[in-house]
């Protein structure tokens, strides 16, 4: 009798867990409109965060494969100049600026999300928090899948079919047996396999060398060398130590 009762309770609990709408109604009835308003704000924030993160990854892919999205295709007085390397450099610069902006926006939204979640956590019990987290995860995955499919089609269109992004679910192919929790980016990279690499052709050797020098120069700047004015000077300083 007791075993049957325990089984029934667990079955009901699993049924509740599978119902994503239940927790919102429960919180609204139990705690009133204030907590319901906070939960709705939390939902909006996580949707914004998820979209911004997907946009960030899309821009990252454009930078890696040197793709020019529509919003950076500004018109020139003479269309022939659109094939000039200066035009492409300017496009890449605007793309990099947008990428940096999305990165900052992600950090800001993540901070807002954690603050809202912490406020709600103080007002509800652990079981309700578990149900709420499950609901938010389902909401996040639903939106993420929709946006990823849109971005996948955009990348294929921009690359004229040369680049095809896989839609493998990292959770199904990556098994984390360590004690460290992997980030979404780490799982995404691992899901591509050990043979994964970025295959690209160097179209402009001067631009490629410039990017490498700028990257090295920025790294040296972070190594407590603020007075370095050129890459050669910085390298000489390193060898002198």
Same domain, 13 and 80: yes
pTM of the model: 0.62
Total domain count, the chain:
2
Residue 15's pLDDT is 47
Give the relative orientation of helices 2-18 and 126-158 as an angle to the nearest 10 degrees. Answer: 40
Domain boundary among 167, 188, 221: 167
Residue 94 has pLDDT above 50, yes or no: yes
Region 72-92: mean pLDDT is: 69
Compute CA distances 74 → 69, 70, 166, 189, 232, whole Å. Answer: 10, 8, 30, 33, 36
Classify residue 111: in a domain, yes or no: yes
Same domain, 58 and 115: yes
Other C-beta atoms closer than 10 Å to the C-beta of 221 total 13
- pLDDT-based confidence at residue 168 (cuts at 50, 70, 90): low
Residue 241's pLDDT is 47
Q: What is the DSSP string of 25-86?
A: HHHHHHH-HHHHHHHHHHHHHHHHHHHHHHHHHHHHHHHHTT---GGG----SSGGGGGSHH
- pLDDT-based confidence at residue 181 (cuts at 50, 70, 90): confident
Classify residue 100: in a domain, yes or no: yes
Structural domain of residue 225, as residue ranges?
201-241
Same domain, 31 and 120: yes
Compute CA distances 170 → 47, 167, 180, whole Å. Answer: 20, 9, 16
Contacts with 60 (C-beta within 8 Å, 6 or more apart), sequence order:
99
Least Cα distance to 24 among 147, 133, 159, 141 occurs for 133
Same domain, 160 and 221: no
Express each pLDDT in 141-159 by its tens digit. 888 888 888 888 888 887 7
Classify residue 62: in a domain, yes or no: yes
Distance CA 64, CA 204 (A): 15
Higher pLDDT, 68 or 203: 68
Structure tokens, 148: 């990823």
> Of 74-83, 95-104, 105-114, 206-215, which range is least confident?
74-83
What is the number of alpha carbons within 13 Å of residue 29 lying toward its C-beta? Answer: 7
Return mean pLDDT, the chain.
75
Same domain, 132 and 216: no
Region 219-227: mean pLDDT is: 61
Same domain, 105 and 208: no
């Amino acid at each position: 009798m007791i075993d049957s009762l325990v089984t029934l309770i667990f079955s009901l609990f699993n049924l509740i867990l599978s119902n994503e709408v239940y927790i919102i109604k429960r919180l609204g009835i139990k705690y009133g409109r204030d907590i319901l308003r906070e939960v709705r704000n939390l939902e909006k924030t996580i949707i914004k965060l998820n979209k911004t993160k997907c946009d960030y990854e899309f821009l990252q892919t454009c930078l890696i494969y040197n793709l020019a999205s529509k919003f950076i295709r500004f018109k020139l007085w003479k269309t022939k100049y659109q094939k000039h390397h200066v035009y492409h450099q300017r496009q890449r610069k605007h793309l990099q600026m947008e990428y940096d902006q999305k990165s900052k926006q992600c950090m800001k939204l993540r901070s807002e999300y954690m603050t809202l979640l912490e406020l709600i956590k103080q007002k509800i019990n652990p079981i309700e928090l578990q149900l709420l987290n499950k609901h938010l995860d389902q909401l996040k995955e639903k939106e993420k899948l929709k946006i990823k499919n849109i971005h996948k089609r955009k990348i294929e269109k921009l690359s004229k079919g040369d680049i095809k992004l896989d839609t493998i679910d990292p959770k199904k192919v990556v098994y984390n047996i360590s004690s460290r929790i992997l980030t979404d980016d780490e799982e995404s990279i691992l899901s591509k396999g050990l043979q994964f690499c970025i295959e690209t052709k160097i179209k402009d050797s001067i631009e490629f060398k410039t990017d490498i020098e700028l990257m090295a120069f920025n790294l040296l700047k972070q190594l407590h060398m603020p007075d370095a004015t050129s890459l050669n000077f910085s390298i000489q300083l390193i060898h002198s130590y």
